[in-house]
Amino acid sequence: SQTIHQWPATLVQPVGSPLSLECTVEGTSNPNLYWYRQAAGRGLQLLFYSVGIGQISSEVPQNLSASRPQDRQFILSSKKLLLSDSGFYLCAWGRRANEKLFFGSGTQLSVL
């Protein structure tokens, strides 16, 4: 069966520090991978998605970047965090547009 791992679950970082959140998927190959940020009143905002290794599409201009170094690994990064980067980050994967997405358990990021 397929599983998705996302870590860490919580993270507190000072402003200006770097960020690396990792997501890995097991039990499937060549998944479409996604990073979302969930904020109150704004729903799930799509940040990045990837259809293959090294292929990243950015949905919103921001202080973050994403990379996909391996087929089932998706990384969200920042060189210097801002206060506005605080939020709940969700990784997800899917196979086809007519099927549901599978979500990780999320990372609560607090930038202080």
Partner 1 sequence: AQSVTQLDSQVPVFEEAPVELRCNYSSSVSVYLFWYVQYPNQGLQLLLKYLSGSTLVKGINGFEAEFNKSQTSFHLRKPSVHISDTAEYFCAVSDQDTGGFKTIFGAGTRLFVKA
Instruction: Scan for tokens 């196979």, then name that residue.
Output: 95
- Using CB under 8 A as the binding rule, whether residue 32 contacts partner 1 is answered as yes
- Kindly tell me which residue out of 52, 79, 84, 110 binds partner 1, with binding defined by CB under 8 A: 52
- Kindly tell me which residue out of 35, 47, 106, 109 binds partner 1, with binding defined by CB under 8 A: 106
**The length of the chain, given as a count of residues:** 112
Candidate segments 13-21, 28-36, 61-69, 70-78, binder of partner 1 by CB under 8 A: 28-36
Strands in 8-106 per DSSP E: 10-13, 19-26, 32-39, 43-52, 55-58, 65-70, 73-78, 87-94, 102-103
- Using CB under 8 A as the binding rule, whether residue 87 contacts partner 1 is answered as no
Neighbouring-strand partners of residue 90: 36
DSSP state of 29: S
Beta strand 10-13 pairing with 107-111: parallel
First-residue to last-residue Cα distance in the chain: 38
CB of 79 to partner 1, least distance (A): 25
CB of 88 to partner 1, least distance (A): 11
- Using CB under 8 A as the binding rule, whether residue 8 contacts partner 1 is answered as no
Binding interface with partner 1 (CB under 8 A): 32, 34, 36, 41-46, 49-52, 55, 57, 59, 90, 94, 96-98, 100-101, 103, 105-106
